[in-house]
Amino acid sequence: MTKLKIAIQKSGRLNQDSLKLLKDCGISIDNGKDQLKASARNFPVEVLYLRNGDIPQYLRDGVVDVAILGENTLVEKGEDLKIVERLGFSKCRVSLAVPKEAAFTDLKDLDGKRIATSYPNTVKKFFDENGISADLHIINGSVEIAPNIGLADAICDIVSSGSTLFKNGLKEVVKMSESEAVLTVAPNLSAEKQEILNTIQFRIQSVLRGQNSKYILLNAPNEKIDDIIELLPGMRSPTVLPLAQEGWSSIHTVVIGKSKFWDLIDELKVRGAEGILVVPIEKMVL
């Protein structure tokens, strides 16, 4: 039986979030402690736990078929590989940082300086595009210590909250790019494996839509219904049901996107909505 081989990070937050996504897609992985390979009980999938930086080459070699990994790793080692789905978790940025006490005006201040990084290709490309020449020191591991031990004048690393930089006496000065977890695919996937991948993508998209949406139920006087519906960007159109209390109705709809969610709630209240219930959506299948 044909199985799709999926590579995920061996350990860390990306590992946990990747396994959770597969679980949310109904794929149960039988993996024990320190296991490097595990099969799904209920789906033609095999998971390989690999070092993030090694995954792009394994994809090229056909050792694995698809992978969940950080976009920053693809920029560094796999720009030739195709992203088929952005997954929205493990978000971070690739940034330059210098010691807190260092004077910094703009990128030109790093010209001729020593930069410690685990992302030499990313830094070189960014510096070349901006006309900066620097001495790169490649470090596999915690680069934040490099300025403190006199190895470098600045670092380039992934930044999430910035707490690690703060603890090491560094300040973020230039955001080079943003990154998130992505689903990427090997160059030559067989038709059988592509079919399995299509099913997984469909499930992933349903999970991601659910995560980015809310189900809203509210009560409103009938004379306010048109004003309220005007605000609600439902999947097709809101559902309106009469209440037992004469002159009142219940309105049900799905709100997609979170960026202006509370602004919407405030405006619904202004237009007469009462008893607003907001319910999370596990999955949204279109």
- Residue 33's pLDDT is 62
The amino acid that residue 161 corresponds to is S
Say if residue 122 is in the same domain as residue 225: no
| pTM recorded for the entire structure | 0.84
- Residue 236's pLDDT is 72
Say if residue 162 is in the same domain as residue 49: no
- Residue 118's pLDDT is 92
- Residue 77's pLDDT is 93
Say if residue 229 is in the same domain as residue 201: no
Say if residue 16 is in the same domain as residue 48: yes
pLDDT in tens, 197-252: 999 999 999 999 998 888 999 999 999 999 999 888 666 788 999 999 999 999 99
Contact 250, 219 (CB under 8 A): yes
Structure token pair of residue 176: 């080079």
Say if residue 85 is in the same domain as residue 201: yes
Helix runs in 163-285, H state only: 163-167, 191-211, 225-229, 261-270
Query: pLDDT averaged over consecutive 10-residue blocks of the chain (286 residues)?
Result: 92 88 90 78 92 93 95 92 94 94 91 94 94 91 87 92 90 94 95 96 94 91 92 78 94 80 88 92 86
Say if residue 44 is in the same domain as residue 24: yes
- Domain assignment of residue 160, yes or no: yes
Contact 143, 65 (CB under 8 A): no
Rounded Cα gap, residues 203 and 282, in angstroms: 12
Q: Which domain holds residue 186?
A: 4-89+180-210
State the CATH number of the domain containing residue 160: 3.40.190.10
Side-chain half-sphere CA neighbours of 35 within 13 A: 11
Say if residue 103 is in the same domain as residue 233: no
Say if residue 57 is in the same domain as residue 156: no
Domain count, the chain: 3
Say if residue 119 is in the same domain as residue 79: no
Encode burial over 28-43: b for 16+ CB neighbours within 10 A, e otherwise: ebeeeeeeeebebeeb
Say if residue 199 is in the same domain as residue 66: yes
- Residue 194's pLDDT is 96
- Rg, the chain, Cα only: 24
Say if residue 31 is in the same domain as residue 62: yes
Contact 114, 98 (CB under 8 A): no
- Domain assignment of residue 71, yes or no: yes
Say if residue 11 is in the same domain as residue 53: yes
Contact 216, 258 (CB under 8 A): no
